[in-house]
Amino acid sequence: MGSLEQPVHSTGHHGPATGITRWLYTTNHKDIGTLYLLFSLMMFFIGGCMALTIRAELFQPGLQLVRPEFFNQMTTSHGLIMVFGAVMPAFVGLANWLIPMMIGAPDMALPRMNNWSFWILPFAFTMMLSTLLMEGGGPNFGWTFYAPLSTTYAPPSVTFFIFAVHMMGISSIMGAINVIATILNMRTPGMKLMDMPLFVWTWLITAFLLIAVMPVLAGVVTMMLMDIHFGTSFFDAAGGGDPVLFQHVFWFFGHPEVYIMILPAFGVVSEIIPTFARKRLFGYTSMVYATASIAILSFIVWAHHMFAVGMPLAGELFFMYSTMLIAVPTGVKVFNWVATMYRGSMTFETPMLFALAFVVLFTIGGFSGLMLAIAPADFQYHDTYFVVAHFHYVLVPGSVFSIMAAAYYWLPKWTGHMYNESMGKLHFWLSFIGVNVTFFPMHFLGLAGMPRRIPDYALQFADFNMVATFGAFLFGFSQLLFVYNIISCIRSGKKATDNVWEGSHGLEWTLSSPPPYHSFTEPPVFKHPYKDNG
């Protein structure tokens, strides 16, 4: 057909459309990345306001501000929004911005689908948030929506919640397909898989996880829908079903899901630490294999979320051992990061501060995770604030700090301007103190016996709850500095160099700051940043 030989009508300069249509119709990976990131930031604040509502109610014993039914809607919506609205879209946004630039591609492989996967999200979340205004209120059964609380006993708005989850799932699956297609097909000639930056590697593995488990989530909410509206009894014992089946299916999705939220964070940190230690990442190969091992193990550990449902002894032992095993590849990663810093030449710009806090605080979350893996001890920890402390340690100073680190690290590349370093550092320190003051006391609360998801508590939990609430407000309001810094960086700021950082390596730094609209219009010559100089 000869279509490949047809001349491309290129004018040499091909910029974005102007006005709102630029954003509505865009197929450009950078525009879509920006949309994802801004959407995620917005959701982070909405979910954050819900968290502050929860913390304000828990400031003192007794019911002061909200009623228990609204409190349950807040905990549920906070979890759903932070997981599906803030953390996941932020990583997809980073993938959109960075993967083409890191592998020397002009754009994502499937740009039109890319547009669609983003634009589903605002509608999905508008629908989900609108349930809060409906009669009976929004979802009030926890972000894990265990049946039959989420089926027979759910408010009528649950149907909208199910539909919203379906839409988010479609968006995630399309995003993941796009990432895989881009990475496998559009690397610049000469870049082998084992030459890819770790952020690209972790995203490749994450994308496979997404494709594997999002349909499971869609399946479980569809089963709920059938139970609610079409008379089936998947989760209703009275009709021959089993409420525990819900938990098995949910956590078969849910456990890989938590790794979907942390693997790209590993990638980000593995980019940042070598830059500011001015030393090549220690153990690149083992990092790749560790990531893949964590991903594979994530499929055989799900029932550690269900130690108290009454599994047989053999089941408890199996899931205890498999869960403990995850500590090995995770440990390898932490050791590699520390070995990268060891005998480096370190500086501590804002992205590095966030990355270092990530390593320490994520590891603390890992330790509490190891404790939770011990089934007999888990009978005491399960469904208490100890669990709340654990997953907030891996998600807030884990995933969220890595996202902030990434934003500071690549913002000069994206905008062409340097952000305000002192304000960035202030933002870091306030966040670091805020996060620890909020979540560290929750370990104590859980061990002392405070169950999670309660709007009011016994008097012996009063002091640490008050401390945690102070921390939460400090952390929450510090994020305004982040927003201010981003806005001022976009609008003004010192001109950034192409390389931005002294120790940065990789193809994205060979582009101008800000990069051209179509990142690499022709494949760059790939030269491994380290292999040539030994």
Partner 1 sequence: MIRRIGRVLFLAGLFYAPLVAAQWQVNLVEGATEISRSVYNLHMIIFYICVAIAVVVFGVMFWSIIWHRKSRGAKAAHFHESTWVEIIWTIVPVVILVSMAVPASTTLIQMYDKNSADIDIQITGYQWKWRYKYLNQDIDFFSSLATPQEQISNEQAKGDHYLLEVDKPLVIPAGKKVRFLLTSNDVIHSWWVPALAVKKDAIPGFVNESWTRVDEPGIYRGQCAELCGRDHGFMPIVVEVKSQDDYALWVAEQASLKVAEAQSAQQEMSQAQLMERGEQVYKGACAACHQQEGQGIPGVFPALAGSPLMTGDPAEHINVVLHGRSGTAMQAFGEQLNAADLASVITYERNSWGNQGDMVTVQQISELLKE
DSSP string, 95-160: HHHHHHHHHT-SS-S-HHHHHHHHHHHHHHHHHHHHGGGSTT-S--STTTT-TTTTTTTS-TTHHH
**One of 21, 22, 296, 348 touching partner 1 (CB under 8 A):** 348
Binding span for partner 1 by CB under 8 A among 22-30, 120-128, 167-175, 274-282: 274-282
Q: Which residues partner with 417 through β-bridges?
A: 495
Neighbours of 256 (CB within 10 A): 26
Q: Which of residues 11-50 bind partner 1 (CB under 8 A)?
A: none
Spot the catalytic one: 36, 203, 251, 259: 259
Neighbours of 429 (CB within 10 A): 13
**Per CB under 8 A, 153 contacts partner 1:** yes
Spot the catalytic one: 305, 382, 443, 505: 305
Site string for partner 1, 354-373 (x = CB under 8 A): --x--xx--xx--x--xx--
**Per CB under 8 A, 128 contacts partner 1:** no
φ, ψ for residue 392 (rounded to 5)?
-75, -30
Q: Can you tell me the distance from the alpha carbon of 384 to that of 443, in angstroms, rounded to the nearest whole number? A: 9
Q: Can you tell me the distance from the alpha carbon of 405 to that of 215, in angstroms, rounded to the nearest whole number? A: 31
Which two tokens mark 317?
A: 């032992």
Nearest approach in angstroms of CB 359 to partner 1 is 7
**Per CB under 8 A, 72 contacts partner 1:** yes
**Per CB under 8 A, 313 contacts partner 1:** yes
Would you call 278 a catalytic residue per the annotation?
no
**One of 125, 362, 385, 457 touching partner 1 (CB under 8 A):** 457
Contact between residue 148 and residue 236 where contact means Cβ atoms under 8 Å apart: yes
Spot the catalytic one: 29, 166, 187, 255: 255
Binding span for partner 1 by CB under 8 A among 118-126, 252-260, 445-453, 513-521: 445-453
Q: Can you tell me the distance from the alpha carbon of 186 to that of 103, in angstroms, rounded to the nearest whole number? A: 7
Would you call 333 a catalytic residue per the annotation?
yes
Q: Which of residues 385-424 bind partner 1 (CB under 8 A)?
A: none
**Of residues 185 and 502, the one with the C-beta less far from partner 1:** 502
Site string for partner 1, 233-262 (x = CB under 8 A): ---xxx---xxx------------------
- Report the half-sphere exposure of 24 (CA within 13 A, side-chain side): 4
Spot the catalytic one: 57, 107, 316, 349: 107
- Among 20, 21, 186, smallest CA distance to 107 is for 186
Would you call 259 a catalytic residue per the annotation?
yes
**One of 15, 24, 379, 527 touching partner 1 (CB under 8 A):** 379
Cβ-based burial of 164 (10 A; exposed 0-12, middle 13-18, buried ≥19): buried
Would you call 13 a catalytic residue per the annotation?
no
Size of the site for partner 1 (CB under 8 A): 102
Q: Which residues are identified as catalytic?
A: 78, 107, 143, 171-172, 255, 257, 259, 270, 304-305, 330, 333, 452
